Amino acid sequence: MSNNTVILLFSSPDKKGIINKITDFIFEFGGNIIEMDQYVDRENSIFFMRVVWELNDFKLTKEQIYEKFDPVGRLFNGRWKFYFSGKKSNIVIFVSKQLHCLQELLWRYELGDLEIDIKAIFSNHLEAKEISKQHNIPFYHFPINKENKDEQERKESNIIKELDTDTIILARYMQILSPLMVNEYPNKIINIHHSFLPAFVGGNPYKQAYERGVKIIGATSHFVTEELDQGPIIHQDVIRITHRDNLEDIKTKGRDLERIVLAEAIKYHTEHRILVFGRKTIIFK
């Protein structure tokens, strides 16, 4: 498979001929489609599409693609975005004291599994400092309390912008981001919550699960919105527990879920497989 490709994410009101017009465009200029997926939300009559084609023999430059596709997209009142191969997502990771999710991401990053560049690690604590250093990733310490929260977030936000950040990962970050920050990055902040949402929102979900006596526990990765733990869900997984599992056992079992569920969500996101519609995600795997 060629490494010189472009991904188009497209959505619009559903109408006859969208696929046809879009594939006409690709074919006209000599593109070879290598992946294509589409879905129609019948309830709301919305069309969603992801198509990937090779650019090797494609007769348009990057700029021309934007220009020439414009009338096609407008024809259907669509919203679209192009992602060109070779451009990795710039990532900033927020973490607190627990490092297992961070560690998993660093490991996959170094294996080359994820199309990302980790630009910085932010923390309100110091536990992640050493591992950041080992992996040659800038570490920023932003202790947070009631008084300094706004100011610290402003500083964080500035660095995030300087680093040309595409995606913010909350890898077990135990602070709630302010609405200001959240609204600046719609569908670009990914959190891992350690329950199968919508069960056990908020703090201490494992303790809540333990006390409720559930027989399965879960983890959920989702985009962050203003309402806590209410954003569009990207990925979830669960594991069975029994009465023999005490709170500590539950946390240990959950840890393996969290790191894999978060890594998977980041993979979907940075491979541009996700379209968000309202509270839902369309994920073209």
Cite the active site residues: 229
Q: Which is nearer to its own copies, 51 or 181 (CB)?
A: 51
* Least gap, CB of 259 to its own copies (angstroms): 10
First to last CA, the chain: 17
* Least gap, CB of 82 to its own copies (angstroms): 19
- Residue ranges in contact with its own copies by CB under 8 A: 1, 16-17, 19-20, 23-24, 26-27, 30-34, 36-43, 100, 103, 107, 111, 113, 134, 196-200, 211-216, 218, 232-238, 242-244, 246, 252, 256, 260, 278-283, 285
Report the relative pairing of strands 116-123 and 89-95 from DSSP bridges. Answer: parallel
Residue 285 C-beta-side C-alpha neighbours within 13 Å: 5
* Least gap, CB of 244 to its own copies (angstroms): 6
The dihedrals phi and psi of 247, each to the nearest 5 degrees, come to: -55, -40
Q: Which is nearer to its own copies, 20 or 145 (CB)?
A: 20
* Least gap, CB of 156 to its own copies (angstroms): 28
Collapsing DSSP states into helix, strand and coil, what is residue 75?
Answer: helix
* Least gap, CB of 93 to its own copies (angstroms): 17
For residues 6 and 135, give the distance between their C-alpha atoms in angstroms, rounded to a whole number: 30
Q: Which is nearer to its own copies, 119 or 259 (CB)?
A: 259
Q: Which is nearer to its own copies, 118 or 197 (CB)?
A: 197
The dihedrals phi and psi of 25, each to the nearest 5 degrees, come to: -55, -45
For residues 101 and 91, give the distance between their C-alpha atoms in angstroms, rounded to a whole number: 14
Give the angle subtended at the CA of 91 by the CAs of 88 and 92, to the nearest 5°.
165
Cβ(222)–Cβ(194) under 8 Å?
A: no
DSSP state for residue 52 in the 8-state scheme: E
For residues 154 and 206, give the distance between their C-alpha atoms in angstroms, rounded to a whole number: 32
Collapsing DSSP states into helix, strand and coil, what is residue 281?
Answer: strand
- The label of the residue with tokens 């954003």 reads 231
Q: Which is nearer to its own copies, 55 or 181 (CB)?
A: 55
Q: Which is nearer to its own copies, 76 or 200 (CB)?
A: 200
For residues 23 and 38, give the distance between their C-alpha atoms in angstroms, rounded to a whole number: 12
For residues 16 and 35, give the distance between their C-alpha atoms in angstroms, rounded to a whole number: 21
* Least gap, CB of 94 to its own copies (angstroms): 21
